[in-house]
Amino acid sequence: MAIEGVRPGMGRYEELRAGFNLAVTHRPAAIVEAGSADDVAGAVAAAVRESRPVGVMNTGHGPSLPADDAVLIRTGRLSRVDVDPIRRTARVEAGVRWRAVIAAAARHGLAPLNGTSPDVGAVGYTLGGGVGLLARRYGFAADHVRWMDVVNADGRLRRVDAGHDADLFWALRGAGGNFGVVTAMEIDLFPVATLYGGELCFGPEAGEDALHAYVAWAQTVPETMASSVLLLRYPDDPAVPPRLRGRHVTHVRLAYSDADPAAGEELAGRLRAVGPRLVDTVRPMPYADVGTIHHEPTATPVAAFDRNVLLGELDDDAVDVLAKLAGPDSGAPFLAELRAWGGALSRPPAVPNAVAGRDAAFSLLAIAGPDAAHRVARDQVLDAMAPWSTGGSYPNFSGVEDATAESAGRRFGPDDLARLRRLKDRYDPDGTFRVTFPL
């Protein structure tokens, strides 16, 4: 029986093959909008019969390889979220974005381990690790998954957890979509109802001081403080507010999650002391407003070429290098985000998983547009940080240029990568799930 799906030339094909990040163009043989786990199992089985690869897209925020000639499963209709406030868990289907989990959990004074943008898909984010605004306090999102329902290459739906198919459960949490299509997962929720957070934006005259102050500060604050700094020059465009237009801005983003905002205010005050801010939105807020802290634009699709390195402790020399290549006077044609890791991210999870990077103190993510020269400049700053690199990189901040087996050696340690490759041979011997970052 032929695959029932939207084929090239049919209505909605163009709409369904495009996601948020336009860095790759997908030309699938068929697109299946799954409304149930059975739909997913049927699509996988049909793809295997036709010897086609299977790709998965929820939001299209994290593309890797083009899903050409593949069966592309769109998961947006798998949109249920069920919160159990007593057990402090949420059952989350494959097409759910964090926004829905945040809202459902907040009704009970609880919070998930979402990332900075509520528009990112919860399952895709968790499969890659998941470093969000509660991560230094509680760990990776992947550290707090109770079970996953997954359709493997044999077309069977399995529930995997610490006691059933434990190898597969280990691999799924960290190695993304290499092993099957996850149709639902159960995750832990945490008793966080409020944050003291927002951003402090420093103009070009204070940018380098703010960067030095931020890096020193971030290495001393408690695990209840999440933070990052974004280095970005705004376009000289009338649509940009005048105080930011055409200027390089150093955005320090904070999220303090202890219930008492006074301690957060004291910590933020140390950064406010750097000097006047162009924008200062740091305030007490309900956790449900967490997306306002980074306020990433996700309404309009873009072609974003992401790359990252994981870094250890940073000294003044490291900050000087970063400021030279991405700071106010650099003319950098890309944006760079330095994010503080450490805390619970450094500790092993209760149920082991394939997530790497537990030795990192910071991630440095740099994002360029399609222009080749801009991508070269982006790589220069990442390469220049080599003296402080752990040698690792983070799957969720990887981009389409990292979709190579060679770069898998930076996403996983050698022993874990060898184990992942053995499991890939066992669960997906024909490479059905190859439209993803390879192992």
Q: What are phi and psi of 377, to 5 degrees?
A: -65, -40
Q: Do the bridges between strand 305-311 and strand 362-368 make them parallel or antiparallel, or are there none, so unpaired? A: antiparallel
Closest distance of CB 386 from ligand FAD, Å: 23
Match 């992401």 to its residue by tokens.
Answer: 306
Nearest distance in Å: CB 194, ligand FAD = 19
Give the nearer residue to ligand FAD in terms of CB position, either 252 or 323: 252
Task: Give the separation between CA 233 and CA 45, rounded to whole angstroms.
Answer: 48
Nearer to ligand FAD, 272 or 421 (CB): 421
Contact 109, 145 (CB under 8 A): no
CB 368 within 8 A of CB 375: yes
We find the least distance from the C-beta atom of residue 124 to ligand FAD, in angstroms, to be 2
- CB of residue 85 vs ligand FAD: minimum separation in angstroms? 25
Measured CA to CA, the distance from residue 144 to residue 147 in angstroms comes to: 9
- CB-nearer residue toward ligand FAD: 92 or 104: 92
Non-local (6+) Cβ contacts of 14 within 8 A are none
Distances (CA, A) of 325 to 165, 383, 384: 46, 11, 9
State the minimum distance, in angstroms, from the CB of residue 120 to ligand FAD: 4
Give contact residues for ligand FAD (rule: CB under 6 A): 19, 56-64, 75, 94, 115-117, 120-121, 123-125, 127-132, 176-177, 181-182, 296, 298, 396, 436
By beta-carbon proximity to ligand FAD, the closer residue of 261 and 438 is 438
Q: Which is nearer to ligand FAD, 48 or 384 (CB)?
A: 48
Query: Tokens representing 439?
Result: 């192992």
- Least Å distance, CB 438 to ligand FAD, is 11
Q: Min. distance of Cβ 252 from ligand FAD in angstroms?
A: 16
Query: Which tokens is 352 given?
Result: 């082991």
Task: CB nearer to ligand FAD: give 75 or 89.
Answer: 75
Closest chain position to ligand FAD (CB): 124
CA distance 210 to 142: 32
**What is the rounded distance in angstroms from the CA atom of residue 110 to the CA atom of residue 265?**
22
Q: Which is nearer to ligand FAD, 89 or 396 (CB)?
A: 396
- Contact, 62 vs 396, CB < 8 A? yes
